[in-house]
Amino acid sequence: MGPDKHTVRPAGRGILATAVTVVCAVTVLAAPGTAFAAPSPSPSPSASASPSPSASPSVTLPPDKDLEAVRDKLDKLYHDAAVATDAYNAAEEAAAKQSAEIVELAKKIVQGQRKLDGLKARAGRAAAAQYRTGGLPDTAQLLLSDNPSQFLDGAGRVLQGERATKGLIRELTQTQQDLKQYAADAADQWNKLEAGRKAKAAAKKKIKQRIAAAEKLESTLEKKQKERLAELEREAAYQAQTAWLDTGILDEIHTKASAAGKKAVAFATAQIGKPYVWGAEGPDSYDCSGLTSQAWASAGQPIPRTSEEQWKQLRHIDVKDMRPGDLIIYYDDASHVALYIGDGAIIQAPRPGRTVSIAGAGSMPILGVVRPDA
């Protein structure tokens, strides 16, 4: 599905037509290959309580409220995994910067030590020259001199030498201070690197624990229960998207994508169907911010790696002013991000077990919108 299919259309289009278009994008929570369609009504209690005689008791579904409780638990587990993934990505990004800083500081230390060695050699030569004069006072040297005029000329050069010596001492002192500061900065970066390593390891452990717990919970469900759970997920996303559209928001959005935004949308569209993998930023798999950061990198606009930093650092845009290519940040903790593609739809890398796909922009709680190329 190409990016041109999701550009914003004229304002005259009715909400119903828009909703029909976007309902086709609400299948992010559906299994791959599920048809684009509005969710069917929930079965009535009587239907659940009275299975047909030919039906096996094993396919009798528990009440929807029980499956809703399962869905809420899964949502929490995957949300916790998303938060931990953002922490992992942030630690990894910081580690890369700290490592680069340590390398630069090491270069400065080597250069500073060479400079210090050179300054010490100059100081040694100056001390040797003073030794050769016997260290006599200027008055004594004048009285003993056979050529007073030559001595006075030499005295001027001595004065210049003294000034140069003072400058040399100052430079020596400053270089030693610089080396001391470089060493302290390097030690600080090493400490931060070690703290980041521990933070990354803790985040990785939490991610694996939450995903394992979610997978274990899902494994306890029978096939029919999984199908009904997926249906409930689609219904929830559909209802949230419909409520968002019913505000008339699309009547206010008329902005076209920038040239860079079009490139970002084209990149994201080309990734549809690739699996979500936490910490991944392509080319074969992505997490949510890995997809958005790479989409904009492909457009020549580097942006922060994590959804939290994308929210903090990029320019905030009013929802009614958003255009294709802008990033929609979700949840109060900015733990999820997706790329807006127009017509009330997004492309996102949803969560473990899912693939890069199209969804309704309003199918999750929107925190705000940011623009990478503001």
288-298 and 64-132 are packed helices; what angle lies between their axes, rounded to 10 degrees?
Answer: 60
Q: Which residues on neighbouring strands pair with residue 330, listed in sequence order?
A: 336, 366
The CB density around residue 97, as the number of other CB atoms within 10 Å, is: 13
* Residue 54, pLDDT above cutoff 50: no
Tell me the sheet residues that pair with 328. 338, 369
Percent of the chain with pLDDT over 90: 34
Instruction: Report the percent of the chain where pLDDT is more than 70.
Output: 72
Nearest to 83 by CA among 327, 337, 361: 337
User: What are the Cα distances from residue 344, in Å, to 233, 275, 350, 354?
Assistant: 19, 23, 17, 21
Residue by residue, DSSP assigns 206-244 as HHHHHHHHHHHHHHTS-HHHHHHHHHHHHHHHHHHHHHH
Contacts for 206 with CB less than 8 Å, ≥ 6 apart: 80, 81, 84
Q: Give the whole-angstrom CA distance, residue 288 versus residue 145.
A: 85
- 288 with 338: CB under 8 angstroms? yes
pLDDT digits (tens, 9 = 90+) for 189-238: 888 888 888 888 888 888 889 889 988 988 888 888 888 888 988 999 99
Summarize pLDDT for 68-79 with one digit per residue, the tens: 888 888 888 888
Residues with Cβ within 8 Å of 197's Cβ and at least 6 positions away in sequence, in order, are 91, 95
Q: Could you give the 3-state DSSP secondary structure of residue 358?
A: strand
Report pLDDT digits (tens) over 18-38.
Answer: 333 333 333 333 333 332 333
Whether 10 has a pLDDT exceeding 90, the answer reads no
Cα–Cα dist 97/100, whole Å? 5
The pLDDT value given to residue 275: 97
Long-range CB pairs of 298-303, under 8 A, 24+ apart, other chains included: 298/263, 298/264, 298/267, 299/260, 299/261, 299/263, 299/264, 299/267, 299/325, 299/372, 299/373, 300/260, 300/263, 301/260, 301/264, 301/372, 301/373, 303/372
Question: What is the identity of the amino acid at 183?
Answer: A
Instruction: Determine contact, residues 112/161, Cβ cutoff 8 Å.
Output: no
The residues near 137 (Cβ < 8 Å, ≥ 6 apart) are none
